[in-house]
Amino acid sequence: MQLLNLNSGLSHSLCLAALLLTGSHSAWAGKTLDAIRQRGNVQCGVSTGVAGFSAPDSKGQWTGLDVDVCRAIAAAVLGDGNKVKFVPLNAQQRFASLQSGQVDVLSRNTSWTLTRDASLGFNFAAVTYYDGQGFLIAKKLKITSAKQLRNAQVCVQAGTTTEKNLSDFSRAHGVPLKPVVFDTFEAAFKAFFAGRCQAYTTDASGLASVRNKEAPKPDDYLILPELISKEPLGPLVRRGDDDWFAIVKWSVFAMLEAEELGLTQANIDGQRNSNDPAIQRFVGTGEDMGKLLGLNKAWSYSIVKAVGNYGEVFERNVGSASPLKLPRGANRLWNQGGLMYAPPIR
């Protein structure tokens, strides 16, 4: 009789666990997702203007790799990549705006560091661009290495990892430098082009953006070959809402997985009849992965329809199809010699 009662209790516990697992996705929406659905848009913090990453075009429409990450998230949660409110933030504003709840996610060329990850109350969701800090100089200086910049004045933005990396580089290599610090990204590069400094330093992608868009004559300037830091860039969210953290993270992973599966903005509709289980899960015709995130079955399909896969986003904004023409480099997929790797959607 005692054994019967134990088995009965065990069966009851297993049934309860099964009910919780099968029904819990409806309760996993999370406070951030609930707020987004009520307001009808994702509030996304972006830069005040870095070509290729987040900048308004001539018609006032926001474009760039970071912008497309925002649109991908909106497509996943609202089914429409245009349901985004872009909030331009400078380096000093960005963290306070995320902490205060002014934005739901920060997708603004921000480097993932231990300090930011561990002490500001944020979670970095994923890496969307592997970068490194470099130096921009005028070719007329006839310098070929950053180690030749002894006693040079270097324009740099305050309140960034860039400023700290410059100091570290100077001390580590015994290269005395004279930082000229500015509050904003724009003020720093404008001072450089005005001749205030012999060099300008920021992430190499930012240097390419500035040289292409802001230099009086782009061909008169050179990005030195050394990268003096690791700068993994990606979106971040506030701690305390793990459900929203998972959605942002898997929205980025979906873009990478789509490229690996060969799914593009143009061909994804034709793949809805695929016999490949991985593609079926992705396009929403197979096992329902969306319910685990509190989203609908077509969440990842909606991302690709809105912005394309990661490769398309890269090439359009910063790669060969863009004015920047940055090499894919470390941002290639893992199976093509790069660092981009998404866990499986299954």
What gap in Å lies between CA 252 and CA 345, rounded to an integer? 12
CA dihedral of 172, 177, 182, 187, whole degrees rounded to 10? -110
| pLDDT higher than 50, residue 27 | no
What gap in Å lies between CA 241 and CA 144, rounded to an integer? 48
Name the percent of the chain lying above pLDDT 90.
Answer: 87
Tell me the domain boundaries of the chain: 31-130+233-336, 133-227
| pLDDT higher than 90, residue 31 | yes
- Could you check whether 31-130+233-336 and 133-227 share the same CATH topology? yes
Name residues whose C-beta falls within 8 Å of residue 270's C-beta, 6 or more positions apart in sequence. none
* pLDDT (0 to 100) of residue 91: 87
Q: What is the CATH number of domain 133-227?
A: 3.40.190.10
| pLDDT higher than 70, residue 94 | yes
- Identify the bridge partners of residue 86 per DSSP, sorted by sequence position: 44
Which CATH class name applies to 31-130+233-336? alpha beta
Strand 55-56 versus strand 62-63 pairing type: antiparallel
- Is residue 134 within 8 Å of 201, Cβ to Cβ? yes
- SS3 of 63, please? strand
| pLDDT higher than 50, residue 278 | yes
pLDDT band for 26, please (50, 70, 90 cuts).
very low
- Is residue 202 within 8 Å of 185, Cβ to Cβ? yes
pLDDT band for 30, please (50, 70, 90 cuts).
confident
3-state per-residue secondary structure call for 190-214: HHHHCCCCCEEEEEHHHHHHHHHHH
